Structure 1
Amino acid sequence: MFGNLQPQAPDKILALMGEFRADTRQGKIDLGVGVYKDPTGLTPVMRAVKEAERRIWEAETTKAYTALTGEPAYLQALSSMVLADARDDARTAMLSTVGGTGAIRQALEMARMGNPDLTVHVSDPTWPNHLSILKFVGIPFFEYRYFDAETRGVDFEGMKADIARAKKGDLVLLHGCCHNPTGANLTLEQWAEIVAILDKTGAVPLVDLAYQGFGDGLEEDAAGTRLVLRSRPDALVAASCSKNFGIYRERTGLLMVQVADAAQKDLAQGALAFLGRQNYSFPPDHGARIVQTILDDEGLAADWKAELEEVRLGMLSLRQQLAEELRNLTGSDRFDFIERHRGMFSRLGATPQQVQKIKEDNAIYMVGDSRLNIAGLNRDSVPILARAIVEAGV
């Protein structure tokens, strides 16, 4: 039965993590793995999460199943945080998912149910798992230009030209904020231009919102997504709670599907329930219950937002420090894009050979395409990285 199994290519980031753990050098720096780390190198449990878990533990009387598509209070609370007044209850179907990755997978399955000839358009570059999932489920895709290797910003003219080629019924996958792996974001004005192109082509947006609150703030980071929902009749949004609530291992996500008119909502909700049933039956509840408990309590929500803002401002401070160190070392402003990028990641524009040199000479680990996790730094390691970048000739 299993004789036809073929070796699978190892995940590059997971392989890099293994290589980092095996490195015995003192002072090694991990900028590869995509999780938030505090200045001590830990991924802490947020204060509000700890308190929510305590309350859940004290009040919980059963581990019986909740609703097939997820706890309704969670669906309402998280969708309100993400979409605010852009959510049209009469036209929005929702599904609690196994993390943001599960939301993306279910979104693609849902879109293919609606259009068996589906083609997906994804940014070049994009989160590698986007492409991996598309290949595995056999959905054809095109890559649209996104990152300008010269400016380390968005190649917006190229992006517009490529997205304009999407056909009616195609899916256009957009990063809601804090683009992974580049850190280069669209402005709200650019979002409006993308929406106008989608209006002309009839293509359907799928927004992957994995880092809300890590860029310019909770409201600001959702502005592009909300504009899309207000402007397009059909749209999908995949949201993750891994980063902004710090509950990575709880695998907590949400898929929101906006349909053209209210008459289609029940069909969409039934399709989501069916897809969930085929995949994991009932969704996990613990992470969802944590999020719902926080968002529905004024005091917990305020504390969570305050701690999330500390995280965001800490990453911005590290960006500013790294850009300044590089400016001083090079006498040039060519690395100022690091300060303009948002979220956990930036792509330096270094070659694989330069990335390898940085690793070999300085025990600094980043992904081969030169994506680095800003949150893996602290004030003491920033100067070390800056010198390594310059010495490698980036």
Structure 2
Amino acid sequence: MFDQLKAQPQDKILQLIAMFRDDPRTTKIDLGVGVYKDATGLTPVMRAVKAAEKKLWETETTKTYTGLAGEPAYNAALSAMILGDAVPTDRLASIATPGGTGAIRQALELIRLATPTATVWISNPTWPNHPSIIKFLGMNMAEYRYFDAATRGVDFVGLMEDLAKVKSGDVVLLHGCCHNPTGANLDGAQWDQVITLLAQRGAIPLVDLAYQGFGDGLTEDAAATRKIAAAFPEVLIAASCSKNFGIYRERTGILIGIGAAAGKGVLQGNLNFLNRQNFSFPPDHGARLVTMILEDAALKADWMAELEEVRLNMLTLRQSLADELRKATNSDRFDFVASHRGMFSRLGLTEAQVNTLREDHAIYMVGDSRINIAGLNARTVPILAAAIAQVAG
């Protein structure tokens, strides 16, 4: 049997991680892997998470299974953080999932279960796991233009032209905030136009919300998702706690389905069914920590304060890099870095230039020139700027 298997293409980011690890140069800089790092290069455990873990260790009495959908308290607390009061709770069904990737997978499984002929529209570019999972599931897929390579902003005209081709019942995957990999985001007025168009087309939005709190603020980053949730009869939202709670390895996510109140039981039953087929009961440790933090006023306040420190640090790094690049290149061609939001920006370098940065300067980034802003610090910002100026001419 195994001799019939074919080698699978390597994940480019995981390949990059291995290359960085094996590079003996002490000056190497990792801007590829998508995790937050502090000024020392550490991905720290947040203070509130530490406190919640200590409390959990002292009070937890069992490690028995949780429910198929996860703990109701977790689903309710995280849904409230994401949606506020945008949608009545009697329209919400939800399941805990192994991270945001698990939520995306379950959302696509649900779509295939309900309407196997539906086309899933994804932005060009998007997070590589989106098309990978869609193709693996054998689903129909189409792309809509998103990134303007000239301005390094959103190609809004192209985006609207492509989304006008969406058919009723198609699913449109939208990044709720902090677009990955570009860092370029729609503004409020543009979101309104997209929502109006997709509602007219009869589309079903699937929102990927992986970075709430990393862009403009915890509430501000949920604004588009809340508008979408309130505007459509059916919506899917896949969210992750990896970044904003810093619990990457705990694999903590949620899939929220919004539909008619009368159909909530069937929707919830199908979500539960999918969890059962794929992994039975979802992991609970990270979900329990998130619940404890969101339900405890002091822990929540401390978590929000530290999350804001993280967000502001990334904004500072963005502005510093834009300033250093302006000085190093004697031009404003990289000023867009300061206006992007979230962990990532796509710099617009060629693959050959990216390779030169890696080979000659020990600076690692994804081949499309996506960089993780949070991989920088005050010492490495000018080093990166000087290297980019040298290879970009």
SS of residue matched to 1:238 = strand
SS of residue matched to 2:314 = helix
How far 1:67 moved relative to its partner?
A: 1.6
**Rounded Cα–Cα distance in structure 2 between residues aligned with 1:192 and 1:170:** 19
**Rounded Cα–Cα distance in structure 1 between residues aligned with 2:368 and 2:286:** 32
State the match for 1:21 in structure 2. 21
Structural RMSD (CA): 0.7
1:275 maps to 2:274: yes
SS of residue matched to 1:48 = helix
SS of residue matched to 2:392 = coil
Q: Aligned runs of 1:205-220 on 2, under 5 Å?
A: 205-220=205-220
SS of residue matched to 2:3 = coil
State the match for 1:290 in structure 2. 289
In structure 1, give the amino acid aligned to 2:134: L
**Rounded Cα–Cα distance in structure 2 between residues aligned with 1:164 and 1:209:** 23
**Rounded Cα–Cα distance in structure 1 between residues aligned with 2:23 and 2:209:** 34
| Contact map agreement 1:182 1:371 (CA 8 A) in 2 | yes
Question: Please, which runs of 5 or more residues in structure 1 have no aligned partner?
Answer: none
TM-score by length of 2: 0.99
Give the 4+ runs in structure 1 shifted more than 3 A: none
**Rounded Cα–Cα distance in structure 2 between residues aligned with 1:286 and 1:393:** 46
State the match for 1:364 in structure 2. 363
**Rounded Cα–Cα distance in structure 1 between residues aligned with 2:333 and 2:298:** 44
State the match for 2:141 in structure 1. 141
1:158 maps to 2:176: no
Q: Aligned runs of 1:286-365 on 2, under 5 Å?
A: 286-365=285-364
State the match for 1:67 in structure 2. 67
In structure 1, give the amino acid aligned to 2:376: L
State the match for 2:264 in structure 1. 265
**Rounded Cα–Cα distance in structure 1 between residues aligned with 2:246 and 2:203:** 33
SS of residue matched to 1:85 = coil
How far 1:327 moved relative to its partner?
A: 1.0
State the match for 1:376 in structure 2. 375
**Rounded Cα–Cα distance in structure 1 between residues aligned with 2:214 and 2:270:** 32
In structure 2, give the amino acid aligned to 1:275: L
1:114 maps to 2:118: no
**Rounded Cα–Cα distance in structure 1 between residues aligned with 2:26 and 2:107:** 44
Deviations for 1:5-26, whole angstroms, at most 9, x for unmatched residues? Answer: 0001110000001101111112
SS of residue matched to 1:174 = strand
Deviations for 1:324-351, whole angstroms, at most 9, x for unmatched residues? Answer: 0111122211111000000000000000
**Rounded Cα–Cα distance in structure 2 between residues aligned with 1:21 and 1:112:** 39
In structure 2, give the amino acid aligned to 1:332: S
How far 1:360 moved relative to its partner?
A: 1.3
How far 1:101 moved relative to its partner?
A: 0.2
SS of residue matched to 2:239 = strand
Deviations for 1:65-124, whole angstroms, at most 9, x for unmatched residues? Answer: 122101000001000001101132111110100100000000011112221212100000
In structure 2, give the amino acid aligned to 1:219: T
| Contact map agreement 1:80 1:87 (CA 8 A) in 2 | no
**Rounded Cα–Cα distance in structure 2 between residues aligned with 1:160 and 1:215:** 23
In structure 2, give the amino acid aligned to 1:110: L
In structure 2, give the amino acid aligned to 1:348: L
In structure 2, give the amino acid aligned to 1:373: N
| Contact map agreement 1:79 1:87 (CA 8 A) in 2 | no
In structure 2, give the amino acid aligned to 1:87: V
Q: Aligned runs of 1:60-209 on 2, under 5 Å?
A: 60-209=60-209
Question: Please, which runs of 5 or more residues in structure 2 have no aligned partner?
Answer: none
SS of residue matched to 1:81 = helix
**Rounded Cα–Cα distance in structure 2 between residues aligned with 1:166 and 1:129:** 22
1:9 maps to 2:20: no
| Contact map agreement 1:46 1:307 (CA 8 A) in 2 | yes
**Rounded Cα–Cα distance in structure 2 between residues aligned with 1:247 and 1:190:** 32
Between Structure 1 and Structure 2, how many residues are aligned?
393
How far 1:307 moved relative to its partner?
A: 0.3
Give the share of equivalent positions with the same residue, in percent: 65
**Rounded Cα–Cα distance in structure 2 between residues aligned with 1:321 and 1:209:** 27
SS of residue matched to 2:306 = helix
| Contact map agreement 1:94 1:257 (CA 8 A) in 2 | yes
| Contact map agreement 2:116 2:139 (CA 8 A) in 1 | no
Deviations for 1:6-64, whole angstroms, at most 9, x for unmatched residues? Answer: 00111000000110111111211000001111110010000000000111111111111
**Rounded Cα–Cα distance in structure 1 between residues aligned with 2:87 and 2:352:** 47
In structure 2, give the amino acid aligned to 1:30: D
**Rounded Cα–Cα distance in structure 1 between residues aligned with 2:26 and 2:65:** 48
In structure 2, give the amino acid aligned to 1:374: I
